Structure 1
Amino acid sequence: MEDAVNVVTPRGKCRTSGCFAPDERCIEGLTLEECPNFTFGEIEPDDSTEQRPVEARGHGHIEATAVIGRGGAAFSAAEADSCILSMPLRSTVGVVSLVGVPDSGKTTLLASLYEIVRRGLVHGALFAGSETIRGFEERCHYSRLASLRSSPDTPRTAAELRLLHLSVALEDTGKRIELFFADRRGEQFQDLLDRPALNDSFIEVQRGSHVAFLVDGDHLIDGGKREAAIAKVQRLAIALRDKLSDTCAIQLVVTKNDRLEGHTDEAFIRSRIDSLFKRISQTLKSDVRLSVHYIASRMLGEPASGLNGLLEQWLQIYPAAQREAVPVPLGCNAFERLMNVQTGNE
């Protein structure tokens, strides 16, 4: 009997953030020999990914350990909630919910926004990090040359709700805004059209500081699909209107605007979008903030893409969406402050 062939995994490490080759598949889809960022050989352990004691201020070393790093994958709803709660109290946090049926461009929009912020293509907004950088990179991969695809594409969205985190610093003030983008499969919004009672499960809409309703530009230029696409957006707005927070802003986002511009029916299509905008305004609360955006997600960095204006809108987080600070008890010493906490006095 022939001896079994042992497959030896090469030793080494990739310098690309969020890539765990050779233990996992290369995030760029390359072989180890092709990847310019992979270093072969023995790699010294990285202390930043090991468990190590946590030193509490004023209490010396404690026995508990903290695991630094989680691989940068997209958050589940529970993980995103934990991340938000762990942020400093005065952090400005916004949740952006993308609402749209299959192939409306939700995932492509998220990937393109990440690209323009990371590359510094947004005036006045700087990339300040991400807790889900691997999740973003996975969504961007199919649109890059490394994917070896003949045309840009995006992967299928996971079956469960996922959230992506992007930290943006405003260049003029230095203020950081923490944005969490909800990425949900379009089929679940399609189910909502048939069963409006499912709206209780769309927690990202209930907590959203911004809710964007997407309509596919390809469907708008197709006379046989146009009215159905418009009607679906209006029905989604009706199904979710009771779940919107009082302070959220609403965006009507027309994707693939590059296909729409110059089309023979462009003027008529824009008039139909204006009519949809008015109907949604009448459907929602009278004081809701509502705006229309035409975007072309593949036109990265170009003014005509409309992405910069949409991001500027999402960076406006209204006060009620932020966490309120707990008042500090007043007192001359620790005992008086403790008594004020117990009695409710300040």
Structure 2
Amino acid sequence: MSALVAAEMICSNPDCRVSVDKKCVEGLSFDQCQFFGKQPVDLGPAAAGDVAAPAAGIDLDLGVPLHALQASGVLRAARSRVIGIIGAYDCGKTSLLAGLYDLFQEGPIAGITFAGSSTLHGFENICHDSRVASKRGIAHSSRTSRGEVVFYHLDVQRDGEPDLISLLLADRSGEEYEDVADEMANGLSMFELRRADTVTVLVDGRRLCDPKTRHDVINSVAPIVQGLQESGAFERRPQLAVVLTKNDAVVGSDKADVAMADFDRLVETIKRRFGDRFSDIRKFVTTASPKGMAVKRGDGLQELLFYWLNAGAPEPVVPVRPASDRVFAALRPRED
């Protein structure tokens, strides 16, 4: 441990005791923990004689998507799976999140029961525009804004198992992932991928069927994965799910055979180039929010959910020894 690290053995996570036991409460190395090295928030001493008034009623969560520190609390509370979802702009990421949530509205999914969520309001917001109540002519999903990553939370329980499993689904703007293909450094702050049990790459089926955009889709996925790999996002060797979205557009297209062949070749390319960075790679075909009746809403999401829940424990990160003996060579970018 360098003298620099020893001098800054503090953490803004109130549950972390790094100054005492020299260990990260999340099990991460110090250069990967976004809270390490930051001053804890001082709430200040209570004024003398102040007595808190008894709370009237019950405090409820806001139900909005979680930020990193709140998601960290979910990880400590129950057996959890972190799912990183990578996709270019308008590839169907928000629809996938909404579609999975809507599947549980109909009851258990093949023995998996919805058991709670601290982000119900957030889920309802992204589902609204795809429902009749929105009075839209066709289903619509709002785009994710650029900025800080947020997490959608689902607790589920399998038949015959007493313990809950918490799913934390990371949501980040697609443009930010596209930026990684242009500049590897843009991936350094994507801590949700370094913590992910399963990384999910989305491939836009509608654009894959369009001769004008087909090559853009095929040639955009691998550079994003390459940039993230070079930034160290996959050091724990998570599972990788390569997901074709908007399959209703593929089924209804006269280019369906070509699109599926392109998708299969893309999956094989990813396996060949990046197979050693993942513990397992599988492909999925989904329709989260179809525009017509040719494909059932939520088709393929059940299989993807099973894969997320069955994620094995990723390998621990092996610290990379700096090539130089200078102290500055061991520094890493701070994750704000």
Task: Output the TM-score relative to the length of structure 2.
Answer: 0.71
Number of paired residues? 257
After TM superposition, list the pairs within 5 Å mapping 1:200-211 onto structure 2. 200-211=188-199
The CA distance in 1 between the partners of 2:65 and 2:298, in whole Å, is 29
AA aligned to 1:114 is: Y
Larger Rg: 1
Deviations 1:15-53 (A, max 9, x none): xxxxxxxxxxxxxxxxxxxxxxxxxxxxxxxxxxxxxxx
Give how far 1:320 is off: 4.4
Which residue matches 2:258? 268
Q: Judge which range, 106-115 or 67-76, deviates more.
A: 67-76
Aligned residues of 1:93 and 1:317 also touching (Cα < 8 A): no
Q: Judge which range, 167-176 or 294-303, deviates more.
A: 294-303
Structure 1 vs Structure 2: percent identity of aligned residues?
30
> 3-state DSSP class of the match of 1:311?
helix
After TM superposition, list the pairs within 5 Å mapping 1:130-145 onto structure 2. 130-145=117-132
Summarize the Cα distance change of 1:257–1:206 in structure 2 as closer, same or farther, 3 Å threshold.
same
> 3-state DSSP class of the match of 1:193?
helix
AA aligned to 1:306 is: G
* Structure 2 portions without partners, runs of 5+: 1-50, 317-336
The answer to whether residue 305 in structure 2 is matched with residue 311 in structure 1 is yes
AA aligned to 2:301 is: L
Give how far 1:63 is off: 7.9
Give how far 1:158 is off: 3.3
> 3-state DSSP class of the match of 1:181?
strand
Which residue matches 1:70? 61
Give how far 1:151 is off: 1.2
Correspondence for 1:112 among 99, 105, 111: 99
Give how far 1:197 is off: 1.4
Give how far 1:175 is off: 3.5
Deviations 1:123-176 (A, max 9, x none): 111000001111111111111122121111112323321100000110232432
The answer to whether residue 241 in structure 2 is matched with residue 251 in structure 1 is yes
AA aligned to 1:235 is: P
Deviations 1:237-281 (A, max 9, x none): 111123114341001111000111253222222222121111111
Aligned residues of 2:100 and 2:298 also touching (Cα < 8 A): no
Aligned residues of 1:102 and 1:187 also touching (Cα < 8 A): yes
AA aligned to 1:309 is: E
Greater fraction strand: 1
Correspondence for 2:158 among 159, 163, 170: 170
AA aligned to 1:73 is: V
Aligned residues of 1:209 and 1:245 also touching (Cα < 8 A): no
Aligned residues of 2:86 and 2:202 also touching (Cα < 8 A): yes
The CA distance in 2 between the partners of 1:321 and 1:163, in whole Å, is 23
Which fold has the larger relative contact order, with Cα–Cα distance below 8 Å and residues 6 or more apart in sequence? 2
Which residue matches 2:8? none
Which residue matches 1:180? 168
